[in-house]
Amino acid sequence: MLWFVGLGVCPPGSIPAAAARILESADMVYLETFTSPVAPSACVADARPAPRWMVEDGREILDNAARSTVVLASYGDPMVATTHAELRARAISRGICTGAVHASSVASAVFGECGLHHYKAGRTATIMDDAKATLTPYQTTYRNAVSGNHTLLLLEYDAGRGFFLDPGTALRMMREAEAGQMRGVFSEDAYVVVASRVGMPEQRIRAGRLAGMERHDYGEPPHSIVVPGPLHFTERDALMVLAECGEEPPPEGHSIQSIPHQMMQKYAPAVRQAAGGIPDPGRYQTILENALLYVRDAERALEEGHDEVAVLSIGYADGLVDALRMQLNLGEWSPDTKM
């Protein structure tokens, strides 16, 4: 028998009674040590440490579970970690009975502790201590914001070297990623929340604009970052009460337009302006009419949610006007150039 037991995010001694009974009656208890730096509770103090390689390899744990009752205990909820889910599937495929005792995890607790609506939680990503790996958390936050959702960003934890990525460093890395992506996701004015040691007596939640949040000392890990999407007024009111706010949350929250919307705002008026600057327009009436029809098609497609069609249509309009200007030796133009 192989049990997966979650220890939750609350202080030691607060685990469910069912979990305590399973731990007490088990022949062998492993404590997974690679998802959090939190010290184990007393009920698993004598457990065998299970580093990442042991859980990923799984043979020792499965071999023991095939002939006795084994528990793999972990901080938070055991089935949030993909390595645990994979190990459980392997156990079942070998004919080993399994069970799980679920508990709170930061993924479920942090939004409530910040006063944010959990049903608006989008995809979660991890910020790694590698500037080359910032694209995934950046794009995840961007897509969530466009959809009107909040983003939970976990921070890299390396148990082998006792390393936990500092929130201030993580925020600076994301602001540097903004310089390359330029979608406004992590601008200096972006509003972010840093939640430290959620569920523990020393829990602390701070919120404010990114530029100021980079400079704080957030103390002992674990930490996580929440980038709120557009805020309901009840979320805004709750966040102001539950968090130490350096600045009030903006009424609109972190509202980001999609790339097609940003392109249309930039290119639609610019194409119309460029078309209006063509000399002797009557001579090129058909070309100009087609270009403006493409602009209208693009706007209509965007309103109807056909983003790809909108991008293609505005590209056709841009190409027609640009080709005509080059044919007339008027030079190339860009939407950033005043006509």
**Which CATH number characterizes residue 296's domain?**
1.20.1270
Residues 233 and 114 grouped into a single domain: yes
Let me know if residue 214 belongs to a domain.
Answer: yes
So what's the pLDDT on residue 339?
34
229 has pLDDT over 60: yes
Domain boundary among 64, 82, 104: 104
Question: How far, in Å, CA of 309 to CA of 48, rounded?
Answer: 57
* pTM for the predicted model, two decimal places: 0.80
Question: How far, in Å, CA of 186 to CA of 112, rounded?
Answer: 23
Let me know if residue 172 belongs to a domain.
Answer: yes
H or E element: which one contains 43?
none
Q: Which residues, in sequence order, are bridge partners of residue 153?
A: 125, 225
138 has pLDDT over 70: yes
Three-state secondary-structure class, residue 226: strand
Name the domain count of the chain.
3
Q: Which residues, in sequence order, are bridge partners of residue 154?
A: 126, 224
Residues 116 and 241 grouped into a single domain: yes
333 has pLDDT over 60: no
Question: How far, in Å, CA of 214 to CA of 167, rounded?
Answer: 7
Residues 238 and 293 grouped into a single domain: no
So what's the pLDDT on residue 40?
65
Domain hosting 146: range is 107-245
Residues 113 and 217 grouped into a single domain: yes
Question: How far, in Å, CA of 209 to CA of 252, rounded?
Answer: 14
Question: How far, in Å, CA of 309 to CA of 301, rounded?
Answer: 6
338 has pLDDT over 50: no
Residues 111 and 203 grouped into a single domain: yes
Q: Is pLDDT larger for residue 304 or for residue 206?
A: 206
58 has pLDDT over 50: yes
Question: How far, in Å, CA of 324 to CA of 336, rounded?
Answer: 18
Residues 118 and 230 grouped into a single domain: yes
So what's the pLDDT on residue 334?
58
Question: How far, in Å, CA of 98 to CA of 95, rounded?
Answer: 9
Q: What are the φ and ψ backbone dihedral angles of 277, each rounded to 5 degrees?
A: -95, 5
What percent of the chain is modeled with pLDDT above 70?
A: 94
As a whole number, mean pLDDT of residues 73-94 equals: 93
Q: What are the φ and ψ backbone dihedral angles of 24, each rounded to 5 degrees?
A: -70, -35
Domain boundary among 104, 137, 168: 104
**What average pLDDT is seen over the chain?**
89
Domain boundary among 211, 245, 279: 245
**DSSP single-letter state for residue 77:** -
Angle at 149 between CA 226 and CA 183, to 5 degrees: 80
Residues 113 and 209 grouped into a single domain: yes
As a whole number, mean pLDDT of residues 238-254 equals: 86
Q: pLDDT tens, 296-323?
A: 999 999 888 888 898 999 999 999 988 8
Three-state secondary-structure class, residue 332: coil
Q: What are the φ and ψ backbone dihedral angles of 296, each rounded to 5 degrees?
A: -65, -40
One DSSP character per residue, 107-120 reads HHHHHHHHT--GGG
Closest Cα to residue 131, out of 184, 169, 187? 169
So what's the pLDDT on residue 86?
96
- Residue bearing tokens 């799980």: 100
